[in-house]
Amino acid sequence: MEHIEPNNQLNLFENNEAMQNVLMEQANEILDTLLDFKAIMMYYSAAIRRLRTKLEILNTEFEVKYQRNPISNIQSRLKSQVSIMEKLNRKGLPITKESIEENIHDIAGVRVICSYVDDIYRLADALVGQDDIELVVKKDYIVNPKPNGYRSLHLIVRLPVYFTDGTHYVTAEIQIRTIAMDFWASLEHQIKYKKKINNPEVVAGKLKQCADIISYTDIMMQNIRKEMDDEQAEDADLAEQLYEKLKRFDVTLGE
Ligand code: 0O2
């Protein structure tokens, strides 16, 4: 074994200690960054919970007033850290707390699935009309579908979330679409990420055709429902009207 003079041993020890300090400082910085990131994600997670509650309350209100749930299902997700990094990289943006908050608007994502197209707009208007919701961007892919046939109403909203250190304003993306539009989008999404597709143009053509059929069906279904609603309103005698009112008492208020 190599013999180290006592003086050199001391140097080595000091060097090791200095090295350890540098590593500890670096680890400290990395942990601070990660904790910053965790705090941001906590704000977005809180925003999702606030939005879900708002949507659930609107759903109950519609049920009490009109005996019909506009919302069939609510899904939500927090964008993964890897996806956030990928998106920033793709856009050539720096990976910092500020850059994330400024440029990525879909970290908090809420998808609302409705039965009918008119419910989508009624719900969107009711939500955006609330005092603490600011509409940042609205993309109406129902009126203006994407060339591939994608239909959905996208809202980027900004809302406050309250913590002990104050109020934080965060953005969230809300996608609102019908059950049929959602069915289409999930298949199209799966196909998009498939590595090998035989005849991609043929598949794209078929998907576009399905999207158009779905859009037609959505409108037909909505018209049938409206006709039924109108008939019911016109024909109901007093006994039926009383029965309809009594049914409202059965609505679960979500307490
Ligand atoms: P994921 O995995 O669903 O989150 P931006 O987000 O603003 O940078 P863009 O394209 O301007 O990008 O936003 P846009 O058009 O509002 O679309 C955002 C999201 O809508 C997508 O998120 C999808 O969820 C959905 N979407 C948009 N176009 C399509 C489509 O053609 N097919 C399907 N199936 N979904 C679509 P991400 O981040 O792409 O993916």
Write the CATH number of the domain with boundaries 8-250: 3.30.460.10
Q: Which atom of ligand 1 is nearest to the CA of 156?
A: 16
How far is ligand 1, taken at its centre, from the CA of residue 82, in Å? 16
Known active-site residue 173? yes
- In the chain, domain spans: 8-250
pTM of the model: 0.85
Q: Which of 86, 173, 188, 244 is catalytic?
A: 173
Higher-scoring residue by pLDDT: 235, 206: 206
Q: Is the pLDDT of residue 10 over 70?
A: no
**pLDDT in the model for residue 28:** 86
Closest CA to 155 of 169, 172, 131: 172
Rg (CA), the chain: 27
Q: Which two tokens stand for residue 132?
A: 């603490």
Q: What is the per-residue pLDDT across 35-57, written as a single tens digit (0 to 9) for each?
A: 888 888 999 999 999 999 999 99
Measured distance CA(181)–CA(216) in Å, rounded = 11
Nearest atom in ligand 1 to 79's CA: 4
Are residues 97 and 40 in contact, defined by beta-carbon separation less than 8 angstroms? yes
pLDDT of residue 129: 97
> Alpha-carbon distance 40 to 43, whole Å?
5
